Structure formats: structure tokens, C-alpha cells
Amino acid sequence: MSKRFADAAPSLFRFAIKRTVVVFFAASVVACTPVPEPSPDSSKVLRFEPCRLPSLSVEIQCARLDVPKDRAHPDRGSLSLHIARLPANTLRPKADPLILLAGGPGQAASALAPFAEALVDVRHYRDILLIDQRGTGRSSPLTCAALDEQHETLRDAVSIDIVSKVGQCFDQLAAQAIDPLDYGTLAFVEDLEAVRQALALPRLNLWGGSYGSRVALEYLRRYPQYVRTLTLDGVMAPSVRITLNGWRSRTERLNAILQSCDASENCRALQPSPAAALGILATRLAAPGRTVTFADPRTGHPETLRLDFDMLLSALQPLLYSSDTAALLPQVLTAALHDDFAPLLALAQSFSSSLEGQMNSALYYVITCAEDVPRVSGEERAALQTETPRIAALAAQSFAACERWPAAALPADWGTPVINSNVPVLLLSGALDPVTPPVYAVETAQTLAKHRLITANGSGHIVSTHACAPQLLSAFVKDGSFSALPQACVERFENCAPPLLWPNRLMPAP
């Protein structure tokens, strides 16, 4: 076990169970510099071989690249990166591929393969690369039995026992002689540069979703001369602390939904005030909670569960990420008010199942505990408890879960705006996004001279997978500018309305 791991100072953290992660610098002006020739170390060419990914029905190509665990101490050994390539549908592809950077933190890029396959127009001219971040997918994944165990019951979908499980994970990594500080964001940025050199690529087109936007921005900060285009979706501004900001933004989104229903005559006519319902449920489910009986929506069999209000709030969190599930929230609360918790638990289980096999929970805690929690002051923690009393207990648990984890030694420019005057940057935001709201994209764009902001008014977290967004992204990458963006698609996103809150989808027909 390394000294950095053993001497870890107490730190703070954000609440996010494996099932509810959806996932949240002294800047200098970058002049236009010529692209240098590849270094001698980049002369080796990766050997791609036929392979398959679980989420794809077609054969693609895969390669591996060994990189140092710790570049400051290469004698400490190496780890292996997994690189998947969806090849261009041409014999002479462009030399600058599109690289998709996944979110979380903790999501494997290989999980984005269906999205990559949908980018048909990009592949007319370019390869698409999926590089599993170190610690995820097939890139030397971190393994913690405490967090990686399969959850089979609905009880697990709403479990909030994170402090003990994260503590067990810390011990399990230590037993494997794994230093969590080897798996930070900047280590992955250097991995991306190592892949670029190994493939002798002159430049890259980067797409970063959610946490992937943090990675993309840090690569732009450090290697601007190698970036041709940058697309940020669900933008995580450098100033964002996932631990702190995630709780605030999700609470604001929940409150906005509750207020929207109260302001709608149709919504009020079909169910009582969801805000009032939530207040009543807070009283009914006060600690130690109560035993509820429900029909398991998967089997129809009767089940019982000891449910308290914090568990209910935990189950509500993932509903906020999609505008479609968020629109169900008033009906979910109305059903719960009438002692029918099956709709809420079914949605929570559905979200849990959708992430199965995509997320590495250990890496989530490695990164947020090291990079985000130490940047939250005691005063900010106290203010969060006061400003958001409804989720105060959950937030306190999230910070407590990180107290044993090491803090990263971050560079002086960490958390400051990324300044760039040359690279075109497309920023996409969902107006209903509960974790990376549009204000983060606005903040990020202020120091990017060449940028285009597009806000999808009816969308939640991540826009690129919806409607005509793949065509929007393809046009941007192909042309390398904003002039070719399909205006009809832009207008579709900017003018779309959110789903209605009032249809009583979950209640029996009269």
C-alpha cells in the first residue's frame, strides 16, 4: 500500500449510490500553435483486432495500451487501457477521429457504443473511439465487493447504507495494494494523450457528456493544439464540486416540479398538491420509518419493505434526470400518499437495472472524494444543511462516506475557467437537467471565444442521444464550425416544450 493511500487525510464527499449515479485553475490564454510531429515514443502503432461489446450486435475493433499507474513514478508498474474503435465506412478516413468521453464519474466509454453506432454520419468520414477510463469497463477496473455486488431486490434500489459500504470498499482496495490517487481525472487526461501519440493522430474531436465534459475541458486546457472540435453535453463547469452542487441543483429541480404542478389547474385537478403530499409523507415515514406492502412490479408477488423518508427521497433522485420520468413525479407522490409505493419502487428499480454493468462505483468515490469533497469548505457544508433541510441527512451521509479517502494534490489551475480562443466548442444543455443545469454551460462558455450554446427546453440530463441531436453533432464535427448546424434541429430543441405534468398516467381509468 502506497504512502499516499496510508496517510490519507479525512475528506468530504457527495451522496450517490451506484444505482443513483447518472451519471456532476489559474487559466492562461492559449495561442494558436502548430501541431508538432509525434514524439519518438508515439511511433508504436496499436494493433486492433476484431472484438465485440455486449451492447452491440456488430463486430468492431479493439486494442490495448499499457500506461504507467503513476507517471511521476513509472517504476510502480502499469495498467492496461481498453480502446474500442467503430471504424469509418470509408477506405480513407479522416486522421482526426471522434472520441466519446463517458460520465459518472465511473461510467465505461464502451457503454456508449449504441450512441456511437447511431452517429452514422460521423462514420462516413471518421473513426469513433471509445476509451474506457482507467478503473472502468475493461481498463483495469477497480473491484470492490461491497459496491459491486448484484442487487436483486427492490430494497437494494432504495438502500441508503453508503457510509459502511464505501468504507468497506476503501479497505478492499487497500487490501489489493491499490492507490486510489492513481485513478484521477488528470491521469485519464494523460492516458488520452498517450493514445493519441500511440496512434500518431494529429488532432482529436472530443465529445464529453456530464463528468466527461470535465475530462474534455481538462484535455483542452493542457493540449489545446491537438483539439479540432469539442462538444460538451451536460456541461460540468470547472468550478463545480459534484458533492456540493449536485445536491443543490437536484433540490432546485425537485422544487421546480412541485411548484409547476401547484401552478397548473389541470395538474391540481388530477392530484392533490405534490408538495403537500411530500410533506405528509415526511411525517408518515419519519424515522424509523414504517413497513409498507406492495406488489413487486416485476413479478406481481407481494413484498414488504421498511421504508423511511430518506429512502423515499433517495428513490426520487433518479426520476429527475429524464424529463419523461420527472413528469411522473406528481402521480408517483399521489400514489404513495395512498399507500401505493409500487410506481416509485418500479421506477427506481428500472433506473438501477439500466446502469447495471455500466458504472464502476469505486471509481466514482475515488474521484469525487479526491477532487471534489476537499474543495467544499466547512461553511459550505453547514450552509447546505440549512438551505436544503429536506435532504440534509442524505447530504451528511454523503460527506461522511468520504472521510477516510485520500485527497488529491491538484494543480493550481484546477477549478478555474478554461480559456481558449481557437477551438470551436459546442455546448448542449437540457433546461430540465437536475445535475448539470444550463447555468454551468453559460459559465463555461464565457472564456471560450469560439462557442455555440444550445439549450433544449424540454430535455433533462444529456441531449445528444435524443431526436435529431446525432445529426447536429455530426454536422459540427464534419465542418468544424457552427455554420453547418442544421437550423431546423437547433430550433426543434430550443422550442420544444417539457412533458406535461397533469396527465394521470399511473392511476386507474375512471
pLDDT digits (tens, 9 = 90+) for 187-209: 999 999 999 999 999 999 999 99
The per-residue DSSP string of 53-108 comes to -TT-SS-EEEEEEEEES-TT-GGG-EEEEEEEEE--SSSS--SS-EEEE--TTTB-
Supply the mean pLDDT for the chain. Answer: 87
Residue type at position 114:
P
Residue bearing the bigger pLDDT, 39 or 132: 132
Query: What residues contact residue 438 under an 8 Å CB cut-off, 6+ apart?
Result: 429, 430, 431, 453, 455
pLDDT digits (tens, 9 = 90+) for 219-277: 999 999 999 999 999 999 999 999 999 999 999 999 999 998 888 887 877 777 889 99
Q: Of 334-338, 360-364, 474-478, 502-506, which gets the smallest average pLDDT?
A: 502-506
Residue type at position 224:
P
Statement: residue 130 has pLDDT above 60: yes
Give the end-to-end CA distance of the chain in Å, rounded to a whole number: 64
Q: What is the pLDDT of residue 510?
A: 39
Taking residues 116-124, what's their average pLDDT?
97
Query: From the CA atom positions of the chain, what is the Rg in Å?
Result: 23
The per-residue DSSP string of 279-292 comes to HHHHHHT-TT-EEE
CA distance 495 to 510: 34
Nearest-10 crossing angle of helices 274-284, 309-316: 140
